[in-house]
Structure 1
Amino acid sequence: MNNLLPLTNNWDTDLYENNHAFVWEYGQDLLKLLNPKPGESILDLGCGTGQLTAKIAQAGAKVTGIDHAPSMIEKARQNYPYLSFNVADARNFQVTQPVDAVFSNAVLHWIKEADEAIASIYQALKPGGRFVAEFGGKGNIKAIAKALESALQANNISAQTLNPWYFPSIGEYATLLEQQGFDVTYVALYARLTLLAKEEAGMANWIKMFADAFFVGLSAEQQTQIIHTVEEHLKPILFQQGNWTADYRRICIVAIKP
């Protein structure tokens, strides 16, 4: 899920690795689109705990992983001590030498300041360099977000002001890329219902991992009650045969710096 959170750096890396491996497992399909070549310089933007960074390195590329969360970078360094990982923010990172490609999996839906991130990505690329990314697109987790909003409103909490996510349409994001000079060569938006780990605990774990911004200042008892309300609301549509799913919709982008 990898990752550059503007609101919090307090990622639980154990919860992330143990219960949310789908984040990087699905990202392996994006690696095929990246198609890293031996000797290429590649930046993994929002590398999380480093699994996809290591996959890129296995192709022979010279790869560096960056992430906004120090806990993620610390864990990535433990996992892959032979690779380079640094703490950096998607909105203002800089590179010492331009790279052949910027790769980003499941990160940019955390970055509401999309223009700033795109500007940083553009300046990081060599002329002819490519930007390959997948993240939550328009309609992503629509049912989960609606259930969360309803449960929070019942407790007199405004979900809108706490919402950490940015889920753009194809037209919106492609336009932002083009306005900053990119040539957009591929874009797609598709549904991807995603099975959550840990059976009946799957939705609660997902909320604790990825929706913690909504629970700032609430007691443990209040959090538990709200999560239970969300589960009850979602059970008829996202819980089947003892397992939870998340109603993901992903946007996939390839753009070239001329």
Structure 2
Amino acid sequence: MIELADQDWNPGAYYRFRGLRLRPALDLLRAVGPLPEGSVIDLGCGGGAVGPALGQLRRHLVGVDTSPAMLSQARLTGGYDELLEQDLAEWSSSAPVAMIFSNAALHWVASHETLLPRLAALLAPGGVLAVQFPHQNNAPSHRLWRSLVDELFPGRIDPAQGPKVLLPAEYHRLLAPLGKVTLWETEYYQELAPDGEGHPVRRFTEGTYARPILNKLDSDEQAQLIRTYESVIGKAYPKGPNGTVLFPFRRLFFTLSV
């Protein structure tokens, strides 16, 4: 059962697949070229997994996140010069920054049509906005959580809530007037090992995409939803002889240089 004692993020549940979640962040960072002077902002820094890599840029490194639990974890890394507990949609800077780096965070923030131009305006000349989103909402791993909760508990989940991701062409149209845009998608074929506590895809998704859904339910309802998800997810993602599951996961990336 997922740990849902409160509404905050659970670092243990999130970092159960830490290596698989870190790889896209490193791929995004490798796509970033030279930067101007200024701070680097890890917007949605979570537990600070990307902090050591960002620290190699030798800039003043600021982590921003809404989760006290995740920020406590980030603080333990010792990699950040500042850590701020703040709504990602409201964060700003009084001085131009060299890079705003956001890995698997901004899909939880609404109104990208206004958010992204506002972030771009905070960059120094030559600065970079580098962003990665999970682009998995229509895959069975994610779609089943919503379809099952709608079936079992009609009206409990607002369809407008949840991750917000535009189409790639919409991001290009939004960002191209602001600078040089590089936009791409990668589908990672992830091998998820069994841990004896449930289907690996359920374990992967319950701490991220399914978290706000499960947080709307009481413990008995959570258990019912998880049992139902477990009963069908294996048809979309069958286990191999040793219990390992091959899990395709699509992610959308872009960099904007101003």
* Count of residues in Structure 1 that have an aligned counterpart in Structure 2: 247
SS at match of 1:154: helix
Whether the 8 Å CA contact 2:51–2:79 is kept in 1: the answer is no
SS at match of 1:147: helix
The structural deviation recorded for 1:173 is: 1.5
Residue in 2 aligned with 1:150?
Answer: 147
- Cα deviation, 1:133-185, whole Å, max 9, x if unaligned, reads 11123x5452123212231122132455264111221111222224xx52242
The code of the aligned residue for 2:255 comes to: V
Length-normalised TM-score, structure 2? 0.83
Residue in 1 aligned with 2:3?
Answer: none
Question: Residues 30 and 197 from structure 1, CA distance in 2 versus in 1: closer, same or farther, beyond 3 angstroms?
Answer: farther
Distance 1:112 1:247 in 2: 26
Structure showing the higher helix proportion among its residues:
1
The structural deviation recorded for 1:103 is: 1.1
Residue in 2 aligned with 1:214?
Answer: 213
Distance 2:179 2:82 in 1: 29
**% identical aligned pairs:** 22
SS at match of 1:34: coil
The code of the aligned residue for 1:109 comes to: H
SS at match of 1:225: helix
Length-normalised TM-score, structure 1? 0.83
Root-mean-square deviation (CA, aligned residues, Å) is 2.6
Q: Which runs of 5+ in 1 are unaligned?
A: 1-7
The code of the aligned residue for 1:253 comes to: F
Residue in 1 aligned with 2:100?
Answer: 102
Residue in 2 aligned with 1:189?
Answer: 185
Q: Tell whether 2:257 aligns with 1:256.
A: yes
Distance 2:43 2:239 in 1: 34
The code of the aligned residue for 2:146 comes to: E
Whether the 8 Å CA contact 1:134–1:251 is kept in 2: the answer is yes
Q: Which runs of 5+ in 2 are unaligned?
A: 1-5
Q: Which stretch shifts more, 221-230 or 17-26?
A: 17-26
Question: Residues 196 and 84 from structure 1, CA distance in 2 versus in 1: closer, same or farther, beyond 3 angstroms?
Answer: farther
SS at match of 1:92: coil
The structural deviation recorded for 1:99 is: 0.9
Whether the 8 Å CA contact 1:142–1:247 is kept in 2: the answer is no
Whether the 8 Å CA contact 1:109–1:167 is kept in 2: the answer is yes
Question: Residues 186 and 38 from structure 1, CA distance in 2 versus in 1: closer, same or farther, beyond 3 angstroms?
Answer: closer
SS at match of 2:181: strand
